[in-house]
Amino acid sequence: MDATRTTSEKKLTTKQTATEWHLPNTARMYDYYLGGTHNTEADRKAAGEVDSYAPFVGYVARLQRACLKDIPAELARRGFDLIIDFASGLPTQDHLHENAPEGVAVVYADLDPVIVEYSREILGNTPNVHYLYTDMRNPLTLLNESVVQQLLNEGRKPALVIWGICLFLSDEDIDTITNVLYDWAPNGTCLAFNVPLVDMNRNNEAVIKFLKTYEDLNEPIYVRSLEKVREIIHPWKPDERGFVSFLDWHGLGPSSMTPDDLDAVGPTGGGYAAYLVK
């Protein structure tokens, strides 16, 4: 896992107003946690502050991105040649299309119009990659987009990705989203799915401060148990490997964590992931 971090300035050239770029944005803060350069001074200040008292946030972000890297090849191995990702953030730092085997199309999507515009600028004319606006709480909207419909009409076999986002979604939203997707998906469809910050230690001071910070940023974090997750994603079921902790995904052990991070997020490394199958 690459834990390096650079703070070099990147020229931002989208048409968004200067006012917006001067506010911290959680997707660009995430790019900073991942060691990326697609972030502004405001993002670095906000994320740097979180990092100073809650280094587990960057640790979990980098760990779940390291797990995400495997997904395109695994889905291709299972015969899928269209990856539809529902809350993508910036397409940087080893995101899906950077690891997609030739011939696999990737559809990214996000709710934040600033991130959609900036991501399109970053991607330019990269072949076989699309970036759409969506609110995943109504997942059919993305699936009914003409770009997606056209890819499906080409006979492509779709797989779905919900990664790094469940911590921002209520139980009711996850329940609805996964149910709608289950009804939409052909039998055998695979949904690469993860839940960050499961079972976080709410008595840990850094965790308490982190939850308050994201509440103030208008991005409240939902902490839940794996049991609750299993319940709300029903009838999706993980494949034979089951839910795997972030640390077990690549066979790392809790000894790769600092004692403070271990106390904050527990021995999973910050969450669980699985390939859910219909």
Ligand X SMILES: C[S@@+](CC[C@H](N)C(=O)[O-])C[C@H]1O[C@@H](n2cnc3c(N)ncnc32)[C@H](O)[C@@H]1O
Residues that bind ligand X (CB under 6 A): 27, 30, 65, 68, 87-89, 110-112, 115, 134-137, 163-165, 168
**CB contact at 8 A, 218 and 250:** no
Q: How far is the CB of 249 from ligand X (least distance, A)?
A: 13
Q: Which is nearer to ligand X, 154 or 220 (CB)?
A: 220
Q: How far is the CB of 168 from ligand X (least distance, A)?
A: 5
Q: How far is the CB of 57 from ligand X (least distance, A)?
A: 11
Pairing of the two strands 158-162 and 82-85: parallel
Q: How far is the CB of 255 from ligand X (least distance, A)?
A: 25
Q: How far is the CB of 262 from ligand X (least distance, A)?
A: 22
Region of 146 please: left (phi>0), alpha (psi -120 to 50) or beta: alpha
In the numeric block, which tokens belong to residue 24?
Answer: 């911290």
Q: Which is nearer to ligand X, 10 or 69 (CB)?
A: 69
Q: Which is nearer to ligand X, 138 or 225 (CB)?
A: 138
**CB contact at 8 A, 142 and 134:** yes
CA distances from 36 to 39, 46, 62, 94, 202 (A): 7, 15, 11, 10, 29
Q: Which is nearer to ligand X, 132 or 203 (CB)?
A: 132
Q: Which is nearer to ligand X, 81 or 110 (CB)?
A: 110
**CB contact at 8 A, 57 and 207:** no
Give exposure, 194-217, as e/b (b: 16+ Cβ within 10 Å).
bbbbbbbbeebebbeebbebbeeb
Q: Which is nearer to ligand X, 74 or 112 (CB)?
A: 112
In the numeric block, which tokens belong to residue 23?
Answer: 């506010």
Q: How far is the CB of 139 from ligand X (least distance, A)?
A: 9
In the numeric block, which tokens belong to residue 45?
Answer: 């200040």
